[in-house]
Structure 1
Amino acid sequence: MMYIKRDPQGKIVAVSREPADGGGWSAAGEDDADLLGFGRDIIEGANPMGASDLGLVRVLEDLIELLVERSLIRFTDLPVPAQHKLMERRGAREALQHLSLLDDDGVI
């Protein structure tokens, strides 16, 4: 559970892991859309390359997959930590795709 404080326009201006003294604080789940957006804004502000870094990661994943499919490299040629990270990300993408497909059918 996280605690957030909003300005008069409803924009998050502060976040705390512990309940804070004073008014204006409310509880928010860690998956709250506004809270996630606030965190993303902080990260992108601290690292202006952050958004392009995420895009580049996906490009590299696709490039590695293409090289493996065309037998130009073997997946096992990659360092073991890289193999694990790529497999984790592939699994996460497949799970997200599955959720997206459920939403398209109006199930969610």
Structure 2
Amino acid sequence: MSDDAQARIAAAVKSAEVLLFMKGTPLFPQCGFSSRAVAILDHLGVEYQTIDVLQDQAIRQGIKEYSDWPTIPQLYVKGEFIGGSDIMMEMYEAGELIELLDQKGIARAGA
């Protein structure tokens, strides 16, 4: 694992309020889990950035080490690792994801 990839991941995580590491793009997710994560964020009306891990093998491997989490997608809010698709879904259904976003001061469309 290169220090360069870790530095790029850290910079990306710090620079975006809401960041989703995913397979594909929001318009063309390349796996069902990434598609579900995008759908949740879109439904909540949150502005977010994405990084397509399929475009960069170093990032694809590096993000798993960075978060110590084995799967993609991965959601970060204000630099904090939140979890993957299953955790996002559980938090969303319990109303915890919207609470977290509100607590962190993340603006939402129509909120």
TM-score interval (norm. to shorter): under 0.3
Q: Which structure has greater helix proportion? A: 1
The higher relative CO (CA closer than 8 Å, separation ≥ 6) is in 2
Q: Indicate the structure (1 or 2) with the bigger Cα radius of gyration.
A: 1
